[in-house]
């Protein structure tokens, strides 16, 4: 399924056969570009960036790499191929043919799910727009911009669904996606984590690791949807998302590798003076980003989630791999709950616990990545291990909201929590210290003091390639 790049809007959905939709999207396109120029990477819109562009939606489609100025990136609409025999994989309509149109009674809910997902895409571009000036290398700068243009494309993916399937209210939502602003007091983005600042590259890598990973799980459960165009859209987005997770995980690995190297070289944990980030600060950043990302999964017990599932709108992670009836009418699920000052597990109706089930899959994935990070530290023979804080730590949504839970999962008093807050979450000084290390390294093949080079370059190119050319003057 190749993509037609001769069109004004590259697409593989035969857009030219639907004049109305094509006109509507061509009308939205300049507004998107206006948003990109205003809110996209600050100062780098005329730089030449070695980017990949999708040319088809199969595995070979990623082969196209080349220098592009970001505003000229070919954002478009790409869906995985339609399976004409696909049936709804779960819920009350399980086994019925997948819907090619929006089921009337679920229109509002489906639109909300699409808007909420769509809103995160431009939000992250806004959050990251000032990072270019402090890039630790041209390799990292290029990766940041690759992530940014693809988040822009994910916005296109959701706007296509809104325009194509939701009529006038869909068009209005598509406009609103360009007017909300991350962190704005009067018109913020919808979800909390997408209004936080991403002020430095350690935050960026943590965000790409933990918050984009939430995106992976949300997209994977929407990819199960009985509404087939949504499913096909999300399936293709997941292939792009994998690169974002790679950027996050390896960014942290390289930070750890450099910290360990400095610790050994100078025989001290206090590597700040030598331009490295102490492992204790990495742990605090991890605690922060993991906990705000857990909130994105929503309340542990949720009738909304139950309704989405029963209606066939949003499934579970890898629904087909789960060995049950895919309806969950009588099933139960173990949920950690706060009761009488302690945390204990209880069996809850599985339908109501779907957010928690998705969060569990996410946490297991985070544990696997954590083990890889700890291997970097172990291989350096350093006696320190990172850990994920307890799921109740520092939560603003759901069961643990308003409680003070330590990283080890103990409910403590507010005063005890405040006594330890500086050990558990980044302090103002930590953030200022990290910011002080964010000196740009823009000579090809050079890296900032706090991060190790990657093991290999992009697309089999050398690490010292000039991945971004034509940089703005300092």
Q: Are 102 and 166 in contact (CB under 8 A)?
A: yes
Positions 119 through 138 that interact with Fe ion (CB under 5 A) = 121
C-alpha–C-alpha distance, residues 84 and 127, integer Å:
39
Rg (CA), the chain: 23
Q: Which residue has the tokens 């706007």?
A: 159
Under the phi-then-psi rule, with left for phi > 0, alpha for psi from -120 to 50, and beta for the rest, what region is 366?
Answer: alpha
Positions 373 through 432 that interact with Fe ion (CB under 5 A) = none
Candidates 119, 196, 212, 214; binder of Fe ion (CB under 5 A) is 212
Would you state the structure tokens that stand for residue 413, as one six-digit string?
């008093």
C-alpha–C-alpha distance, residues 170 and 67, integer Å:
34
Query: Cβ 207 to Fe ion, closest distance in Å?
Result: 9
Residue ranges of the alpha helices (H) in 347-393?
Answer: 354-379
Would you state the structure tokens that stand for residue 120, as one six-digit string?
């995160």
Region binding Fe ion by CB under 5 A among candidate stretches 153-161, 260-268, 368-376, 450-458: 153-161
Nearer to Fe ion, 212 or 356 (CB): 212
Nearer to Fe ion, 11 or 128 (CB): 128
Positions 82 through 121 that interact with Fe ion (CB under 5 A) = 121
Candidates 244, 284, 316, 390; binder of Fe ion (CB under 5 A) is 244
Nearer to Fe ion, 49 or 351 (CB): 49
Nearer to Fe ion, 91 or 215 (CB): 215
Nearer to Fe ion, 154 or 316 (CB): 154
Region binding Fe ion by CB under 5 A among candidate stretches 146-154, 164-172, 316-324, 332-340: 146-154
Nearer to Fe ion, 132 or 248 (CB): 248
Query: Cβ 445 to Fe ion, closest distance in Å?
Result: 27
68 pairs with which residues across the strands? Answer: 49
Could you tell me what percentage of the chain is helix, strand and coil, using 3-state DSSP and rounding each to the nearest 5? 50, 10, 40
| Site mask for Fe ion (CB under 5 A), range 213-242, x = bound | ----------------------------x-
Instruction: Please state at what angle helix 19-39 crosses helix 167-176, rounded to 10 degrees.
Output: 10
DSSP 210: I
Nearer to Fe ion, 219 or 256 (CB): 219
Nearer to Fe ion, 119 or 295 (CB): 119
Number of residues that bind Fe ion (CB under 5 A): 6
Q: Among residues 105, 278, 121, 133, which one has the least CA distance to residue 200? A: 133
Q: Among residues 289, 226, 325, 248, which one has the least CA distance to residue 431? A: 289
Residue 116, helix vs strand vs coil: helix
Query: Cβ 429 to Fe ion, closest distance in Å?
Result: 30
Query: Cβ 121 to Fe ion, closest distance in Å?
Result: 5
Q: Are 222 and 230 in contact (CB under 8 A)?
A: yes
Positions 310 through 349 that interact with Fe ion (CB under 5 A) = none
Q: Which residue has the tokens 């509507």?
A: 24
Nearer to Fe ion, 99 or 362 (CB): 362
Question: Parallel, antiparallel, or unpaired for β 332-339 and 342-349?
Answer: antiparallel
Region binding Fe ion by CB under 5 A among candidate stretches 12-20, 71-79, 179-187, 209-217: 209-217
Query: Cβ 122 to Fe ion, closest distance in Å?
Result: 10
Candidates 93, 106, 154, 254; binder of Fe ion (CB under 5 A) is 154
**Site of interaction with Fe ion (CB under 5 A):** 121, 151, 154, 212, 241, 244
């Amino acid at each position: 399924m190749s993509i037609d790049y001769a069109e004004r809007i590259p697409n593989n959905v035969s857009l030219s056969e639907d004049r109305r939709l094509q006109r509507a999207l061509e009308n939205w396109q300049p507004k998107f570009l206006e948003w990109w120029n205003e809110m996209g990477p600050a100062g780098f819109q005329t730089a030449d960036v070695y980017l990949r562009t999708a040319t088809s939606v199969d595995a070979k489609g990623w082969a196209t790499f080349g220098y592009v100025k970001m505003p000229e990136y070919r954002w478009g609409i790409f869906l995985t191929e339609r399976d004409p025999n696909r049936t709804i994989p779960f819920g009350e309509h399980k086994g019925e043919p997948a819907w090619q149109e929006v089921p009337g009674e679920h229109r509002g809910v489906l639109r909300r799910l699409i808007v909420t997902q769509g809103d995160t895409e431009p939000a992250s571009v806004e959050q990251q727009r000032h990072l270019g000036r402090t890039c630790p290398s041209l390799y990292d700068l290029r990766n940041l911009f690759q992530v940014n243009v693809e988040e822009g494309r994910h916005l296109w993916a959701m706007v296509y669904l809104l325009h194509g399937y939701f009529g006038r209210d869909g068009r209005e939502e598509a406009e609103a996606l360009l007017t909300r602003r991350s962190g704005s007091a009067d018109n913020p983005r919808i979800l909390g984590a997408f209004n936080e600042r991403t002020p430095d590259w350690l935050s960026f890598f943590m965000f790409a690791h933990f918050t984009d990973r939430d995106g992976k799980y949300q997209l994977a459960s929407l990819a199960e949807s009985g509404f087939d165009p949504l499913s096909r859209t999300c399936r293709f987005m997941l292939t792009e998302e994998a690169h974002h997770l790679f950027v996050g995980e390896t960014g942290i690995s390289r930070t750890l590798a450099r910290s360990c190297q400095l610790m050994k070289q100078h025989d001290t944990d206090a590597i700040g003076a030598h331009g490295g980030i102490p492992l204790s600060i990495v742990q605090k950043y991890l605690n922060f980003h993991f906990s705000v990302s857990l909130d994105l999964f929503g309340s542990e017990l949720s009738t909304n989630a139950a309704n989405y599932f029963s209606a066939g709108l949003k499934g579970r992670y890898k629904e087909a791999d789960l060995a049950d009836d895919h309806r969950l009418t009588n099933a139960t699920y173990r949920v950690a709950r706060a009761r009488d000052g302690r945390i204990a597990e209880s069996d809850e109706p599985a339908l109501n616990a779907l957010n928690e089930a998705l969060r569990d899959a996410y946490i297991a994935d985070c544990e696997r990545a954590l083990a890889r990070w700890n291997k970097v530290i172990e291989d350096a023979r350093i006696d320190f291990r990172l850990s994920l804080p307890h799921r109740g730590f520092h939560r603003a949504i759901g069961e643990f909201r308003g409680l003070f839970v330590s990283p080890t999962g103990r409910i403590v008093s507010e005063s005890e929590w405040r006594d330890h807050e500086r050990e558990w979450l980044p302090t103002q000084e930590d953030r200022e210290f990290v910011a002080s290390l964010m000196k740009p390294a823009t000579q090809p093949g050079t890296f900032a003091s706090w991060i190790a080079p990657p093991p290999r370059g992009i697309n089999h190119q050398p690490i010292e390639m000039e991945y971004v050319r034509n940089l703005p003057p300092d």
